[in-house]
Amino acid sequence: MLECNGKLLDLSLSTPPKVMGILNITPDSFSDGGLFLSADKALQQAQQMIQDGAAIIDVGGESTRPGAAAVTAQEELDRVIPVIESIYRECGAIISIDTSKPEVMREAVKAGAGMINDVRALREPGAIAAANETGVPVCLMHMQGEPRTMQKNPEYTDVVQVVKSFLQKRIICCEAAGIDAVLVDPGFGFGKTVDHNLQLVKNLREFTMLGKPVLMGVSRKSSIAVLLNRFTNDARLAGSVAMATLCCQYGASIIRAHDVAATVDAVKIYHAVAHAGT
């Protein structure tokens, strides 16, 4: 059981993996850009995702899609804080804050967030201290490079072992600072080729061996589109759900997804099969 700012997240194997709904509050988000910019629209979208079965709502104010430019802490705060406040006020779900900035971590948790989702795995100056102060669980994700350039010819000697060893070192840094509630994420699509991403999914059990819950985000990512040779968001739905189901089969505890209803159905079917006859 993870304690998330007063709310409990049950990740035990006797329950289905949990779905984290994506709420991007950015004008340039790759799949829902500009749609949820007002706090009201964002709240409606969060409510819909919760009704569809999301256990966590991941609120982000800076795009991490390949090629995305950085934003200032103030811009990020202006985007996410009113949204977190209204979701916290109106809904029961756990809110996670998708950020790498210490000041955003602090303010987001004060506004009601119960988890930090950091694609830079607390490597920004001051991030470990800020996360520690908040006391909420942290998802540490692997990314090679930075979003603006990460897809320019990514290379690894052995992607699974390199990513695993990175996450192991970040867990050690967190534990040394007093942060024990940690999740890990190999970072599908973050400085990886299609083949790297496939290897990570196929070898996800390596990451469960780190002894922390594994989170995976595959939803609508370009590897899915490339594998299917279909590039619209709608055309990525079935591939994203299939990939999410495989992630569950290989040990993921949380799936980060845009299409919550379809992903929740898939996760329930996975869980029923996994526990048949037990």
107 three-state secondary structure: helix
Applying CB under 6 A, does 258 fall inside the site for ligand 9MG?
A: no
256 three-state secondary structure: strand
CA nearest neighbour of 137 among 101, 195, 179? 179
In angstroms, the CA 162 to CA 74 distance is 34
Phi-psi region of 23 (alpha: psi -120 to 50; beta: other; left: phi over 0): beta
Applying CB under 6 A, does 117 fall inside the site for ligand 9MG?
A: yes
> Is 221 tagged catalytic?
yes
In angstroms, the CA 113 to CA 81 distance is 10
Residues binding ligand 9MG: what is the number (CB under 6 A)? 13
Q: Which of residues 202-241 bind ligand 9MG (CB under 6 A)?
A: 215, 217
Least distance CB 89 / ligand 9MG (angstroms):
24
Least distance CB 231 / ligand 9MG (angstroms):
18
In angstroms, the CA 65 to CA 72 distance is 17
Catalytic residue among 221, 230, 236, 268: 221
The residue from 16, 55, 98, 127 that contacts ligand 9MG (CB under 6 A) is 98
The residue from 56, 71, 95, 141 that contacts ligand 9MG (CB under 6 A) is 141
> Is 256 tagged catalytic?
yes
Applying CB under 6 A, does 246 fall inside the site for ligand 9MG?
A: no
Burial 84-118 (b: 16+ CB within 10 A, else e): bbbbbeebebbbbbbbbbbebbbbbbebbbbbbbb
The residue from 188, 207, 250, 270 that contacts ligand 9MG (CB under 6 A) is 188
Least distance CB 216 / ligand 9MG (angstroms):
7
Least distance CB 278 / ligand 9MG (angstroms):
30
Q: Which residue is nearest to ligand 9MG (CB)?
A: 217
CA nearest neighbour of 95 among 53, 146, 60? 60
In angstroms, the CA 72 to CA 253 distance is 32
Q: Which of residues 5-64 bind ligand 9MG (CB under 6 A)?
A: 60, 64
Task: Show which residues are catalytic.
Answer: 221, 256
The residues binding ligand 9MG (CB under 6 A) are: 60, 64, 98, 117, 119, 139, 141, 185, 187-188, 215, 217, 256
